[in-house]
Structure 1
């Protein structure tokens, strides 16, 4: 399909270049940036006109998924990752799913959760670490000023609280955490992804960290990804978020940094979101 749609071809090449850069040590950064920016430009141009065929809708959706996945390989793109994830969701709801014959009609959040449930196997867990993480996430409510921040924090807290005793319910709740920014209204979302919104930055950073903790406690070792470069990028993201915290927020960066040291010793299992 990609040879019929330039934006999809560039998105696939961008994802491939990032994968090689992160996981092989080769530097494909110039190619990554070229194909990414070209794909984004072409997608923006195409979305300015109606999409009338399921094939083109699927190509657009595939390109956006590639670019969202690629964002998790880029050291500076935590906000772009959230932005593209929401963009993919909105395009799927408004453009792709209404088209008859779309291959993405069956690829939904509920379907992804069903897949995770079939893969789920409870693993040994560090209850003390989980409880410490739970207490830390609870403390983040102190710096949540907006309703959408509190919504996100409360779902994170529920997911980590369930992990010790009901890990499958923790996975279900984490699905809601991942999807929540897609459901924010435009003003709330714009506020949530501001680079100077330190509360939101910490919340999103902890979503990524919790993703890996859930992977360790809910996914069998046979599901370990063959390449672990994404985990290193996530750790770098968290360090960057913490390094930018103003003095009043510094204490809230201590636990994420300590957890990153633990995460560095883990294998790269996570819940297989893009």
Structure 2
């Protein structure tokens, strides 16, 4: 990659008319010139050792160049904590991580990569920042993973940074990633490392689908979640060697540590229950009836405990993913308005329960996913036939309320 923005001012100084410049060359650099060359930007996030030695630190993590060269202990100040995850991943990945996977990497792509490293990596597995840093470091080996990472980063910026729209770039990376993942999945065998890379790419694609407004993308999000579930069970044959194994084993332990009983807004809880109950008579088959029952069971579990409410939500989330192919296709069909109402209630109950189950300190740092769920809710309501509009009254009211709330939810993809 060539950075054309680099300015080279050497040789740009106009020649002197009185021969002083030639004389200065013969005499050597003046004190004024030496003083000018000494200036450099201070290393505000450098390591303690370089600061004590009064030398400029190159800020490479985990060990800077100076400490590595002199075999000194390298420790960074706590003020660097906010960027430590990103710098650690960049150090692990090395320069090859941003050279090999793409034929033409742009400065925008570097921004997408940084967004992924800092805030946009998937939330599943729970509390798995280190895992995703390692996956980012693997992206230099697998182009499908690189495109999935960049597409997720681009979509996240679009939804979280007002005035910035990288929709085109996000979709370009997404389409390429999906094509290349499908190509690799069609091959008969994969190494354990490639299996991890494929699963990581699929999970990135799932997360990206939750950041794409439009009802077609709501259905695609469920479809991608279903696909990821199938791949996770069939692709990772030797699960004991997988990067994802430890996080799978620790899922419920981590979940339990995140749950904290919070004050309850009884009006919101009662409103959701009444709205979900009203959908029960509309169900036309056992799948829809079971889904409606599951939603009501989620909200009823609030009276038992926050952790029980979360566990029952996981049952609802997995329910649609376990449908047969024909039943699932019918469930996500654009003409199945009952199912769309059930689906949007499932997305919203995550935020209802988030306020009840999750401490404010566990809230996502950006409202990107929340904004898309609000958009999906309003799009579902707008697409309903006139005789069903009233079934969207509570979802629309809560969507407006959700705009003023923080972004706590139950951390599904």
TM-score by length of 1: 0.95
Aligned counterpart in structure 2 of residue 14 of structure 1, from 126, 148, 151 = 151
Report the alpha carbon displacement of residue 97 of structure 1 after superposing the two structures with TM: 4.1
Quick one: distance in 1 between partners of 2:247 and 2:232?
10
Classify the secondary structure of the residue corresponding to 1:3.
Answer: coil
Q: Which residue of 1 aligns with 2:207?
A: 69
Report the alpha carbon displacement of residue 98 of structure 1 after superposing the two structures with TM: 4.4
Structure 1, unpaired ranges of 5+: none
Give the alignment of 1:101-250 within 5 angstroms: 101-108=241-248, 111-250=250-389
Q: 91-100 or 264-273: which moved more?
A: 91-100
Structure 2, unpaired ranges of 5+: 1-137
Structure having the higher Rg:
2
Quick one: distance in 1 between partners of 2:190 and 2:294?
37
Report the alpha carbon displacement of residue 149 of structure 1 after superposing the two structures with TM: 1.3
Report the alpha carbon displacement of residue 40 of structure 1 after superposing the two structures with TM: 0.9
Quick one: distance in 2 between partners of 1:101 and 1:165?
38
Quick one: distance in 2 between partners of 1:207 and 1:194?
16
Instruction: Give CA deviations for 1:10-52 in whole Å, capped at 9, x if unaligned.
Output: 0000000011111112111111010001111111122222233
Aligned counterpart in structure 2 of residue 83 of structure 1, from 215, 219, 223 = 223
Alignment RMSD: 1.5
The aligned length equals 273
Contact 2:259 2:306 in 1 (8 A): no
Quick one: distance in 1 between partners of 2:253 and 2:405?
25
Instruction: Give CA deviations for 1:140-177 in whole Å, capped at 9, x if unaligned.
Output: 11111121111211111100111234322111100111
1:43 aligned onto 2:170: no
The alpha-carbon distance between structure 1 residues 148 and 223, as it changes in their structure 2 partners (threshold 3 A), is same
Classify the secondary structure of the residue corresponding to 2:241.
Answer: coil
Q: Which residue of 1 aligns with 2:141?
A: 4
TM-score by length of 2: 0.64
Q: Which residue of 2 aligns with 1:27?
A: 165
Classify the secondary structure of the residue corresponding to 1:163.
Answer: helix
Report the alpha carbon displacement of residue 100 of structure 1 after superposing the two structures with TM: 5.2
Contact 1:67 1:84 in 2 (8 A): yes
Q: 112-121 or 95-104: which moved more?
A: 95-104
Q: Which residue of 1 aligns with 2:79?
A: none
Quick one: distance in 1 between partners of 2:385 and 2:265?
31
Contact 1:97 1:104 in 2 (8 A): no
Quick one: distance in 2 between partners of 1:111 and 1:46?
29
Quick one: distance in 2 between partners of 1:114 and 1:208?
23
Q: Which structure has the highest helix share of the two?
A: 1
Instruction: Give CA deviations for 1:195-215 in whole Å, capped at 9, x if unaligned.
Output: 111111111111111111111
